[in-house]
Amino acid sequence: MNSNPAYSNSNGYYAQPPQHQRQHHHHQGMNRVRRGPRGRSRDGHGSDIRVSEATKQPEGAPCTDFDMAYFHSYAHVGIHEEMIKDRVRTETYRAAIMQHQSCIAGKVVVDVGCGTGILSIFCAQAGAKRVYAVDASDIAVQANEVVKANNLSDTIIVLHGRVEDVDIDEEVDVIISEWMGYMLLYESMLGSVITARDRWLKPGGLILPSNATLYIAPITHADRYSESIDFWRNVYGIDMSAMLPLAKQCAFEEPCVETIVGENVLTWPHVVKHVDCHKISLHELESVTTSYKFKSMMRAPLHGFAFWFDVEFNGRAIALTNNHAPSQLPNNHTVEGQQRRKRANPSDALVLSTAPEDPPTHWQQTVLYFYDPIEVEQDQLIEGSVTLSQSKENRRFMNIHLEYASGGRSFVKESVMR
């Protein structure tokens, strides 16, 4: 076991990079790398980039070794290439920025986690007066070069540091950020958007995306199970069933990031968490629990549960948010903790969806598989609860506690998204 705190944890597993590993079919055992001192540009680059020295107390969570490793993983080109090549993601953000042009033109924007600077540039193209492009990763050096090469240095100010540490000496009209991790909350980057909101956003300011929803649904996936597990029953004519317990553990102990399709899903999804970016608090993100009750729409082996999310870019949500407490929002009490069929009115706002029935994205879906499938009949109830909580040891990791009962039997599955 590695004694380096940025790598190891109490179970002896190793940290994973976040988004750039998203295309890996079975999301296990990837290492993150540690980085050097925070907020330093590399020699010879970006001499005019503004580097945060964090001389005062940070506004949000203190920067840990895990955070440094996290930012270091974002210094690799591959992660940005993957995100930018995800056209569903990038084009939806661009469309949302253009759709909200009237709120952006002539206004001050902060891009929380600017990466290569692409969203900041979209905002400049939409007519922003000034954009603060903040990133703690060394990718900020390249962002600054990209900004200069596009003659946007008068508009876009690249700040190399954490949003918790950098100083911006004015209030901003708009916050833009692509903060979503696997199953929405992995990576815990939303906390940094909340910190930016509470530090700089003007009352009535715009946050894009404005809200987000995480879903869970029971799934059947016989091909996947057979490819990883049943395979061992007959290997070149040899009975290797003795491998089954190990195969189940290795394949299904941790959540799997992979693509499923609508046919895998046994019934309508249930809303685990609805996030109103204007209202959500840091404390609310520490632990999320919901109880669910599904009725299977078909007779099939139940192999596990899938999670996915969508985010909405809804400038009009600001008016609602400013005038109502969250519990009074029109659909809040009907959304969270209940099964939701489809958005009541999909044309209401631009939506970036990672649902199995929608075009695939680099987030894919996240699946929790059982070690053994459970046969369910049509209309059979599947009920239980799920709790997602930030790991105490590394808040970028997520503990998942899943309880489920069907046909008179009940189970518990504990896993960690690392």
Ligand X SMILES: C[S@@+](CC[C@H](N)C(=O)[O-])C[C@H]1O[C@@H](n2cnc3c(N)ncnc32)[C@H](O)[C@@H]1O
CB of 416: closest distance to ligand X in angstroms? 21
Question: Rounded to whole angstroms, how far apart are CA atoms 284 and 286?
Answer: 6
Q: Who's near 219: CB < 8 A, 6+ residues apart?
A: 260, 264, 265, 266, 302, 303, 304, 305, 306, 367
Phi and psi torsions of 63, nearest 5°: -85, 120
Chain residues 71-110 in contact with ligand X, contact rule CB under 6 A: 71, 74, 80, 83-84
CB of 90: closest distance to ligand X in angstroms? 7
Catalytic residue among 53, 82, 164, 178: 178
Measured from the CB atom, the residue of 83 and 247 that comes closer to ligand X is 83
- 138 makes contact with ligand X (CB under 6 A): no
Q: Which helix (H) or strand (E) holds 190?
A: helix 190-200
Q: Which of 309, 303, 292 is nearest to 355 (CA)?
A: 309
- 172 makes contact with ligand X (CB under 6 A): no
Q: Which of 115, 83, 173, 112 is nearest to 363 (CA)?
A: 83
Q: Is 64 helix (H, G, I), strand (E, B) or coil?
A: coil
Q: Which helix (H) or strand (E) holds 131?
A: strand 130-135
In terms of phi and psi (left: phi > 0; alpha: psi -120 to 50; beta: otherwise), the region of 369 is beta
Residue nearest to ligand X (CB): 113
Measured from the CB atom, the residue of 274 and 395 that comes closer to ligand X is 395
**What six digits make up the tokens of 271?**
């809303």
Measured from the CB atom, the residue of 19 and 28 that comes closer to ligand X is 19
**Residue choice 103, 109, 134, 175 for contact with ligand X (CB under 6 A):** 134
Radius of gyration of the CA atoms of the chain, in A? 22
Measured from the CB atom, the residue of 116 and 264 that comes closer to ligand X is 116
Site stretch for ligand X (CB under 6 A), options 162-170, 245-253, 296-304, 398-406:
162-170
Catalytic residue among 164, 187, 312, 336: 187
Is the CB of residue 97 less than 8 Å from the CB of residue 124?
no
Q: What is the 8-class DSSP label of residue 177?
A: E
User: Residue count at the site for ligand X (CB under 6 A)?
Assistant: 23
**Residue choice 32, 130, 162, 413 for contact with ligand X (CB under 6 A):** 162
- 128 makes contact with ligand X (CB under 6 A): no
> How far from 49 is each of 147, 160, 245, CA to CA, in Å?
11, 7, 53
**Residue choice 104, 118, 329, 376 for contact with ligand X (CB under 6 A):** 118
- 192 makes contact with ligand X (CB under 6 A): yes
> How far from 295 is each of 219, 266, 377, 412, CA to CA, in Å?
12, 8, 9, 19
Question: Rounded to whole angstroms, how far apart are CA atoms 294 and 27?
Answer: 27
- 309 makes contact with ligand X (CB under 6 A): no
CB of 286: closest distance to ligand X in angstroms? 17
178 part of the active site: yes
- 142 makes contact with ligand X (CB under 6 A): no
CB of 58: closest distance to ligand X in angstroms? 9
CB of 30: closest distance to ligand X in angstroms? 17
CB of 136: closest distance to ligand X in angstroms? 4
**Residue choice 86, 135, 173, 310 for contact with ligand X (CB under 6 A):** 135
145 part of the active site: no
Q: Which of 62, 233, 94, 245 is nearest to 164 (CA)?
A: 62
Q: What is the 8-class DSSP label of residue 170?
A: S
By CB atoms closer than 10 A (0-12, 13-18, 19+), residue 378 is exposed
Question: Rounded to whole angstroms, how far apart are CA atoms 86 and 366?
Answer: 17
Measured from the CB atom, the residue of 74 and 370 that comes closer to ligand X is 74
- 157 makes contact with ligand X (CB under 6 A): no
Chain residues 6-65 in contact with ligand X, contact rule CB under 6 A: 19
Q: Which of 370, 351, 355 is nearest to 259 (CA)?
A: 355
Query: How would DSSP label each residue in 230-284?
Result: GGGG-BTTB--GGGHHHHHHHHHSS-EEE---GGGB-S--EEEEEEETTT--TGG
CB of 43: closest distance to ligand X in angstroms? 20
- 119 makes contact with ligand X (CB under 6 A): yes
CB of 146: closest distance to ligand X in angstroms? 11
- 137 makes contact with ligand X (CB under 6 A): yes
**Residue choice 147, 189, 275, 367 for contact with ligand X (CB under 6 A):** 189
Residues within the interface to ligand X (CB under 6 A): 19, 71, 74, 80, 83-84, 113-116, 118-119, 134-137, 139, 162-164, 178, 189, 192
Active site residues: 178, 187
